[in-house]
Amino acid sequence: MACVVAEYYFWRLILSLNLNDKKAVVAEVSAKVASAQTIVVAEYRGIQVGSLTQLRAQARAQGVYLRVLKNTLARRAIEGTKFADLAPQLTGPLIYSISEDAVAAAKVVSDFAKTNDKLVVKAGNYEGKQLDKAAVASLANIPSREVLLAQVLGMMQAPVSGFARALAALAAKKEAEAA
């Protein structure tokens, strides 16, 4: 019941926006889209307000712009951008996840969808390439940028640290022979 009431007030708010407010929303979303690498859209029908609040908190922590928008406003915001191919997918009650990080938007939505079956990933777009539900899940499984950098650094340090251990073992062996 709470989700129905929240959805009613959401639509009442959106429908009550005047033209200037709608232009401001489109401008705000357009600014986010201009610097984004990834957009993921998911259907949120039937989700409790408390759950959506948790999703928003997780998105904020990951640096993801998460917003429920009227689809016509979203279409206007992505019009003429690399995400314009996403427009035919924008039907129904959708929540938009937009991020500058290639993986963050997909990861936030996919992780939340694992614990809440009412959030259904519908589509996505990465750098102008259309993504279906499976592709969004694959993108979400890629480690974050920080993890990838740590892995590369570990691979670069492995030969050097191995060489240092070999030299230390050789020095210890020479000392043992000399004593």
Q: Are 94 and 69 in contact (CB under 8 A)?
A: yes
Q: 139, 38 in Cβ contact below 8 A? A: yes
40: enclosing H helix or E strand: strand 38-43
Contact of 93 with 44, CB cutoff 8 Å: yes
Backbone angles phi, psi at 42, to 5 degrees: -140, 145
Q: Is-contact 33 98, C-beta < 8 A?
A: yes
The secondary element (H helix, E strand) that includes residue 19 is: helix 19-34
Query: How much is the pLDDT for 41?
Result: 93
Residue 81 to residue 97: CA distance in whole angstroms: 16
Pairing label, strands 94-99, 65-68? antiparallel
Amino acid letter for position 2: A
Give residue 15's pLDDT: 57
Q: How high is the pLDDT of residue 8?
A: 55
In the chain, where the domains are located = 2-142, 143-179
* Residue showing tokens 């993108």: 139
Q: What angle do CA 86, 60, 12 make, to 5 degrees?
A: 65
pLDDT value at residue 9? 54
CATH level 3 topology of 2-142: Alpha-Beta Plaits (3.30.70)
> For residue 95, which amino acid is it?
I
Q: How far is 92 from 114, CA to CA, in rounded Å?
A: 21
DSSP three-state, residue 129: strand
Q: Which residues are paired to 43 by β-bridges?
A: 94, 120
Q: pLDDT by residue (tens digit) across 63-81?
A: 999 998 888 898 999 888 8
The secondary structure of residue 87, as a DSSP letter, is G
Q: What pLDDT is attached to residue 146?
A: 78
Residues in the chain with pLDDT values less than 50: none
Contacts of 9 (CB under 8 A, 6+ apart): none
